Structure 1
Amino acid sequence: MKLTVFGATGGVGRHVVRQALDSGHEVTAVVRDPARLPVPAHPRLQVLTIPDLTHHEPLLPAVTGRDAVISAVGPSSNAQARTTHIAGTALRAIVTAMDQAGVRRLSAVSAAPVGPVAEGEGPLTRAVVFPLLRRALRDTYADLAAMEEAISASDTGWTVVRPPKLTDKPHTGTYRRVIGGNVPGGMTISRADVADALLTCLDDPATEGHVVGIAT
């Protein structure tokens, strides 16, 4: 498969690039700074430097002729940028470029607190943990909610993956998954396993047009 990965230098994105190459895919990694991509040169890896993801025209070369797109774009760590919903703006540009290039399949990472509390979740998480997270990181989750809105309003065959707290533990490929909701009691998952989920969903038609909760 020919894949384009946005957010390729991030904590999840770099794992997506590595795992996609290991699985035999051709990868176009879109980066702001190629020096930050910790993946060695590879005959099936193309690195494109595109500093600005807010307009679709510069993104067309990155998605044209590709089979699918993976977005590991996350909210900005800059407070001023967060108020502009940078992830939402980027995904609107990405899906517009995909539409013009005729690329349909999209897998994107979001976060569990953007969605509703999982059915069967414990009262502590329901009444305390999620409300505190949403209050403390309201700008971050507002940005991700804007991103999900842009994706769901698009004509792409999309899947949104919602993980809980991310860790740097190794890739296992073993985690729980709930289509259409969050994982009850799901507190953490490794960035490497999030990358696994983003890639796996591309080949799973059951996830198309749905959010997918994942957790260990």
Structure 2
Amino acid sequence: MNTRFSDALIARKKAGFIPVIPDIKCISPRDGDLLFGRDPVIIAKQLVEAGAPALSVVTEQKNFGGSIVLLKSIAEETSVPILRKDFIKSIDDLKITRDSGAHAILLICSMLPFYLLTKLYEEASKLGLEPLVETRTREELAFASKLGAKLVGINNRNILELEKDDGTVSATELLAAYVPEGALLISESSLKTQSEVRAAINAGADAVLIGTAILQAENLYSFYKTVSKGTGDCF
């Protein structure tokens, strides 16, 4: 798969759909088990069949039950670009990410001093990984702007609380106007319904990332189709 993560989202948007990135995670600190005995690789393949232009895979083990093995397995069995989500703090983490088949890497502003964020951003780019700079405040968006970030995320929940808080799309609505000009904006977390997804898009998000709501859906294929359905108001 040679398609860039960002290009896959843009292509999906141009095709008239809302680019929804499924976030594959085994456990939620807030909601518990999300797999219910299912194979996450099969889930990933089903979501690609439903139209997912890209995937996110959580590899953090302690709180989310993920692993590099899971990332590799999904990368081998699917044909779309993959974002690795974890608490990335070193260049070695970046190299492991690249070697595991991912195309993009999450860098969390609230967990990294600016000098290290800058170093990891630059090194990720050299390794051929697209850095997604995750923010939650205007100050962090200013950091993203200084970096020249082309992929910016707004997390609607607080990752420092392991996303156990009651986040809402209002975080995206409040902060979208401060995203660096020309950057692709992804609204992350807490989105549960089609109306919330559209609210994020109408606020200025180019794509959304949804994990728990998809994995808890009675029919994840149908749920994905519903939330990614485009509307003229969004484009």
Give TM-score scaled by structure 2 length: 0.35
